Structure 1
Amino acid sequence: MNLLPSGICFYLSVAICWLTAEVDASWWYMGTLGSQVMCDNIPGLVNKQRQLCRQHPKVMQAIGAGMKDWISECQHQFRNHRWNCNTTVRDHNLFGRLLLRSSREVAFVYAISSAGVVYTLARACSQGDLDSCSCDPSKKGSSRDSKGSFDWGGCSDHVEHAMRFSQTFVDAKERKERDARALMNLHNNRAGRKAVKRFMTLECKCHGVSGSCSIRTCWLAMADFRRTGDHLRKRYNGAVQVAVNQYGTGFTAAHTHFKRPSKNDLVYFEDSPDYCIRDHESGSMGTGGRICNRTSRGMDGCEVMCCGRGYDTSRVSRTTKCECKFHWCCAVHCRDCQQQVDVHTCKSQT
């Protein structure tokens, strides 16, 4: 028995559910009937999504398995923020009522999750995990770059295929709704997909006498997902508050001094809560119990993180590697040393 994120209640569009169920891994290979039963019982999917779920059970499995990667990246990017991309297993979706708002945090969640789907699928294609795709078939023959000519070889990540599938599946609900929130979600989904493609790099292997590189074999590869996360975090910092235009087809800046958003910007409608206190209605988990940095003046500092409520200090013992010595050849031997450190945690609201 394996724990699978069978809840590709992935309805990235409204809930981003993650129902974790104990199911036998062989379910995914039971064929059409098994796929239909499972896909028909995932709440929240529209007909198009159910159809794709039935047709591509291995793709759904790959998406579910890849969810932990983009959630982990989201939590890394906001690890020192009052809102730290925390998830809850007690609610009907990963982020609770947070997703009911149209805040910049929600804009980031949609963008990073959409990017995560593209990255996961492209990687699964390149690794040969899926029957429906493999390496990019268009990268054949010869081409040129600033260094000269090269031959296509290796396995280029098929990002275009992953983007098309992601757009069809993830955007299906929003394309059916077409209200203001749907427009916002579609925009941020697209910004996330474009972010993955933005960091495709040409990797090459040299051939020739004595490594002269007279002949090169190259392929296109996705960069580490951290680069996508860093990029989207910058877009979060510069996210544009918008209003729907008079035709209901696009956005205008919410304030006259704001720039008009580009296709790469993240957009949002509502101001964010301060995330200081636990508030079920806004989806805020509060900062009570969060570790803070007593000497920092930044977002991770105790004054900011704890919202002026103060903090508690406790002394804990940590094991660290010390007195490391290099031994020829070729090992490093260290001792385990105990170190007493002060840990500061935000007081809870009274």
Structure 2
Amino acid sequence: MKRFFTISYECSYSIAGSREAAFTYAISSAGVTYAVTEACSRGNISACGCAPGPRPREPTPSGWKWAGCSADVNYGMRFARKFLDSREFDGDERSLMNLHNNKAGRKAVKLNLLTECKCHGVSGSCTMKTCWKSLPPFRTIGDSLMKKYYRARPVTSTYTTTKSDKKSEKKLQLVLKKGKMPIKKPPKKSELVFLQMSPNYCEKDLAAGSLGTVGRICNRTSEGSDGCDLMCCGRGYNTHQYTRKWQCNCKFLWCCKVECKECSERTEEYTCK
């Protein structure tokens, strides 16, 4: 896991402080939180298990009670914070951006928890329901963060003066900006933030972290981001025809060998010009 996230973080640093970097940090943080929380629920980690009951301020509908084994998402969030936030020790605006997006990723897991209930009663009656919190499919969290990616807010850093123990200290923090001017308003904890506009990913620009889309395999029939029209940035695409071969209809012959036929099919592949 550590090697995977090291590679992920190095890639996100190569695309500067863009919204793509923001999404990379958030989805990585959400992934660690989710994996650890899921392991807790399965009993694979001795330090955690079922979450304690909800706080008193969480209302329960009439005839319901919180019971069962709720996902211990708070443990997963604490683990992810220690595992990922420890890398951000520089204290500059990029570190503040990364820490903010890490936290947004962790919160996305908690905000998307599902409430599941089970009925209890004689002959199938539902005189009492016990309810608990469970993890949704990770796709739900990914979709939620993807929406936040499209609504990511531009930010900049500024120093604010805080007073503690009769001393004034300057502290660097992130604030939203409108155009090129900062406004004295911090971003919400649940939204993604970025420092720089995204580079043009259509063209190769290694300095900006963009490899371009020339030679990328695309889907001719798709209208999404993998489609040739969008991925190739209007430059068109090349069609390659080739024959794919593989072993098929394998049979075990006594004793002791396996005989297979060779199957083949004619197929096409499309790459961006």
The answer to whether structure 1 residue 275 and structure 2 residue 201 are counterparts is yes
Distance (whole Å) between structure 1 residues aligned to residue 180 and residue 8 of structure 2:
35
SS of the aligned residue for 1:219 comes to: strand
2:224 is the alignment partner of 1:224:
no
Question: What TM-score do the two structures reach when normalised by structure 1?
Answer: 0.60
Q: Which runs of 5+ in 1 are unaligned?
A: 11-15, 18-92, 319-337
Per-residue deviation, 1:298: 5.4
Per-residue deviation at 1:295? 5.8
- Residues 153, 316 of structure 1: CA spacing in aligned structure 2 closer, same or farther, 3 A cutoff? farther
8 Å contact 1:139–1:156 — kept in the other structure? no
Partner of 1:121: 36
Q: Distance in 2 between matches of 1:296 and 1:115?
A: 29
Task: Name structure 2 gaps, 5 residues minimum.
Answer: 161-171, 245-263
2:220 paired with 1:307: no
- The one-letter amino acid of 1:124's match is A
* Cα deviations by residue, 1:91-115 (Å, 9 ceiling, x for unpaired): xx34655414111100001000111
SS of structure 1 residue aligned to 2:156 = strand
Is 1:163 equivalent to 2:72 in the alignment? no
Question: 1:345 & 1:306 partners in 2: Cα distance?
Answer: 8
TM-fit CA distance, 1:200: 1.1
Alignment CA distance shift 1:296-1:268 (3 Å)? same
Alignment CA distance shift 1:121-1:306 (3 Å): same
Q: Which of 61, 67, 73 is the matching residue for 1:153?
A: 67
Q: Does 1:204 align with 2:130?
A: no
Give the Cα separation in 2 of the matches to 1:114 and 1:161: 13
Equivalent residues in 2 for 1:167-206 (5 A)? 167-174=81-88, 176-206=89-119
Shift in Å, 1:249: 1.9
SS of the equivalent of 2:87 reads helix
TM-score norm. by structure 2 comes to 0.76
Q: What displacement does 1:252 show?
A: 2.5
Indicate the residue corresponding to 2:17 in structure 1: 102
Q: Conserved in 1, the CA contact under 8 Å of 2:220 and 2:227?
A: yes
1:167 Cα deviation after fit: 1.7
More strand per residue: 1 or 2?
2
The one-letter amino acid of 1:152's match is W
Whose relative contact order is higher, 1 or 2, with alpha carbons under 8 Å and at least 6 apart? 2
1:264 aligns with 2:190: yes
- CA distance 1:144–1:104, change in 2 (3 Å): closer
| Secondary structure class of the residue paired with 1:249 | strand
Q: Please report how far the alpha carbon of residue 201 of structure 1 lies from its aligned counterpart in structure 2 after TM superposition.
A: 1.6
Contact 2:67 2:132 in 1 (8 A): yes
Matched length: 241
State which structure, 1 or 2, has the greater radius of gyration over its C-alpha atoms.
2
CA offset digits 1:252-308 (Å, max 9, x no partner)? 215279996322211111121222244433332322333334466654442331133
For the residue of structure 2 that corresponds to 1:177, the secondary structure is coil
Percentage of identical aligned residues: 46
Q: Would the aligned equivalents of 2:63 and 2:127 in 1 still touch at CA under 8 Å?
A: no
Indicate how the Cα distance of structure 1 residues 149 and 178 shifts in structure 2: closer, same or farther if over 3 A, else same.
farther
